[in-house]
Structure 1
């Protein structure tokens, strides 16, 4: 008896379809089973095309330079600039490549949950879903905080107290409604918000040219380093490439669209961080203590006047709106995908008349409101800690599937063998260990408690399913990842 996927029983080569794409190579193998299955969806809904997908990825990962200011405060201009050039090669590129390969191998809602389930079994697939969903919700709680931090200099009442609480709730409700109305709307809203949030930094770059002093970029002081803040800021601003995989079932021709969108989004993200930092550190005398979230609006005022400050604050508002709706889409469709796999109660798989996962959206929005009282640094540290655990499972699943099913159909395949796949995962894994080591005791305790909850929660849900207290079901339209057949 050999355990294989029922959807991989008829692999066949098709040389006439071989082609290369920007981030790797097309495998030349026709996608039989998994790729031909369309996850349950409403027939009258449009799928997401490549341009909205690029900006959805952009907002899943970045949304612009808002939030990178702490890297200068922690390490100074030189290491901040170097970090946003070098760090993508250590972390972002490997994560994006793995997402491209695995996302096209399993183009269904649920994304990384399905990858881990297929490699390690449903128990660990659930743990992956639990940790990554919580990480995403914690991450999403950050965007109302960033939004209000950029506005509080102009509207001091938003700096704290009851007005801030009301503002967080109202903002969450409005943006949640956008997610309810449909992913296509969210995608094109992301395009519009992306263009509008990038424009003021292009203008700021031109305004700053006469004031640039290249010597300011070279300032470094290794004796005044906050390594924890530095690495957490880089890590938070350059991760979550895999989040788009939970929307793969909603993408138009994901086998080709997803890798291309990841490639273009990677370029957009790196440029969107590096050049505003280049302008801000080169045009303004350095005062590291001032480089905190919201400082780019002050830089805009110093370089161009009040009008540029307000423009950047408005761009921050739009950026945070884009990041919020993109992250919530990913989180809610992940819950839908898990329900279609029978990991969560069936009611999580129910869609609204707009095709959106209503229960998943409500759960995600509730988590955002509950967590929004945390500070900027606490939110980053907590979500990074949980995210690291989830990424370790993804790396293991990626390598295990390469070793266990080397001939499986991969519409997009990273042009490395099994040894290359293992080597590619080593640098980001070392980085993960460093980030975990630098976490505070408070963050460690809370995060480990949350992980323990997930370890117990899955058996509890299986017991509830066995007792038939709540209905669970597996969609018949999805391939069986754990079928057995005789060889």
Structure 2
């Protein structure tokens, strides 16, 4: 995922097409679908009752994502290319940067992937993590988690629109010597707004259109980096120098170098839960989600590792990475000006893919908030042709356009902290459901029992604490004020919106959907409860 601190540089378907074979990684088909109970979720006295009332709509079912589309949406929700990782090398030195790129997935990404896969296949409903936390912890915490995730997504999506403007300017500079976007802030904002309008229209056409376009963007991002790596590898074979040295910056110890780059690499590895908000817009989610995660994880790691190695082999001073040396400049050092222009063009497609995926994920949160009556009911309305929540898409796009004019200097630390709080609530929901709903059918179940699940939850929680501590020691605690204010806005919004719109009304989304009910749908074509 792009680091915005480096200026150059998240319903509803119909019947399936046919019977889907069981998921190889743990899916168990009911012995007799005719005798499956309608719900196997036990209720505890503290659990919020969820009604099973469909959202009234005569709109058609939206298009659905297949495996390839889901993989690419996950990829762009998390990474979208190596753009933005440059600052990691500049702050932590080559050796520590490579260690962080390889180590962080094991303590930050893999626990999240496992958590999302278990909950997504147990409760494959629109709204994803919002519904999971509400199911486990109640309406208040469900809303606060969804609100925090929405805030993070809104700010990051706006930064991606601004990033497209920056990479467009970089491309025009490299290719034609044109720097008008650097000199005219309003014109640069219009470029960002044009991107927002284009992808708002694309998202209104449905998740499949987003997935198909993401495949194209991925090719445009991957190919120049692959060429860059091949050229760099050939140079290194001819002259094998230790590109991984120095291991740490001068006069900086291992722990200091680790802390300097931790927030950067955490930022570039977050977003695995973004796909959950559109689970009902995925074909056979029980089968697709585990496979897609299994494919996307190594793709993301290699997408960072190979370009970083190629750039280090190019011989550019690592201290300049992230300041004056982004990947277009690094590619020029490796393969000449033409390759630099090609990589800059790839950066534009990277920003497109990042923004596209974030609109898809983020726009479904106002939709489910409105369905649960925290927002006006007009935001539940779906497009008469495409079946998508078009008013919610327009709403978030307007917010993006306003924010795209701003600066994002404090975003990296603040957004990682917001995301971390949202993520911890999801892990708490996972643990609570393991305890309070042991009979819940889980097509994919994290092995090792409850102790291992708790251990997995502690890994990202620990790394968040370490990252916050390291940042406070190095840069002070100013960022905590902004992060704290944004986090407190969740409870405030909950009570204000409950008083204005909900007024004690029952939820209309967030119904309990079990694996057995999905299996019934796959075999019989009957709609799920709430459809």
TM-score, with length taken from structure 1: 0.87
Cα deviation for residue 138 of structure 1 reads 1.2
Cα deviation for residue 374 of structure 1 reads 4.5
Aligned partner (choices 81, 105, 108) of residue 122 of structure 2: 105
Distance 2:392 2:509 in 1: 21
Residues 1:278 and 2:301 are matched in the alignment: no
Residues 1:72 and 2:108 are matched in the alignment: no
Aligned partner (choices 505, 508, 512) of residue 479 of structure 1: 512
Distance 1:400 1:29 in 2: 25
Residues 1:231 and 2:262 are matched in the alignment: yes
Distance 2:220 2:374 in 1: 39
8 Å CA contact 2:232–2:334 kept in 1: the answer is: yes
Distance 1:34 1:285, change over 3 A: farther
Aligned partner (choices 220, 229, 248) of residue 247 of structure 2: 220
8 Å CA contact 2:95–2:246 kept in 1: the answer is: yes
Q: Which moved more, 1:269-278 or 1:448-457?
A: 448-457
Distance 1:33 1:292, change over 3 A: farther
- Structure 2 residue matching 1:239: 3-state secondary structure: coil
Distance 1:196 1:148, change over 3 A: same
Map of 1:59-458 to 2, 5 A cutoff?
59-153=76-170, 154=173, 155-159=178-182, 161-212=185-236, 213-222=240-249, 223-224=251-252, 230-292=261-323, 295-353=326-384, 354-437=386-469, 438=471, 441-458=477-494
- Structure 2 residue matching 1:217: 3-state secondary structure: coil
Q: Which moved more, 1:149-158 or 1:389-398?
A: 149-158
Distance 1:35 1:188, change over 3 A: farther
Distance 1:379 1:367 in 2: 16
8 Å CA contact 1:146–1:294 kept in 2: the answer is: no
Distance 1:27 1:400, change over 3 A: farther
- Structure 1 residue matching 2:102: 3-state secondary structure: helix
Distance 1:293 1:66 in 2: 14
Q: Which moved more, 1:177-186 or 1:440-449?
A: 440-449
Cα deviation for residue 216 of structure 1 reads 1.9
Deviations 1:281-316 (A, max 9, x none): 123243312434871101111222222111111111
Cα deviation for residue 385 of structure 1 reads 1.9
Q: Which moved more, 1:288-297 or 1:319-328?
A: 288-297
The number of residues matched between the two structures is: 459
8 Å CA contact 1:300–1:312 kept in 2: the answer is: yes
Distance 1:229 1:46 in 2: 43
Cα deviation for residue 357 of structure 1 reads 1.6
What residue in structure 2 maps to residue 465 of structure 1? 501
CA RMSD of aligned residues (A): 2.7
- Structure 1 residue matching 2:226: 3-state secondary structure: helix
Distance 1:186 1:18 in 2: 26
Distance 1:358 1:332, change over 3 A: same
Distance 2:315 2:39 in 1: 53
Deviations 1:340-389 (A, max 9, x none): 33443322221123222222212222332233344454222221121111
Structure 2 unaligned regions, length at least 5? 1-20, 42-51, 515-531
What residue in structure 1 maps to residue 12 of structure 2? none
What residue in structure 2 maps to residue 26 of structure 1? 27
Cα deviation for residue 231 of structure 1 reads 1.5
TM-score, with length taken from structure 2: 0.80
Distance 1:226 1:356, change over 3 A: farther
8 Å CA contact 2:431–2:450 kept in 1: the answer is: yes
8 Å CA contact 1:119–1:400 kept in 2: the answer is: yes
Q: Which moved more, 1:415-424 or 1:52-61?
A: 415-424
What residue in structure 2 maps to residue 9 of structure 1? none
8 Å CA contact 2:82–2:304 kept in 1: the answer is: yes
Distance 1:39 1:208, change over 3 A: farther
8 Å CA contact 1:232–1:384 kept in 2: the answer is: yes
Structure 1 unaligned regions, length at least 5? 1-16, 482-487
Q: Which moved more, 1:217-226 or 1:453-462?
A: 217-226
Distance 2:438 2:24 in 1: 19
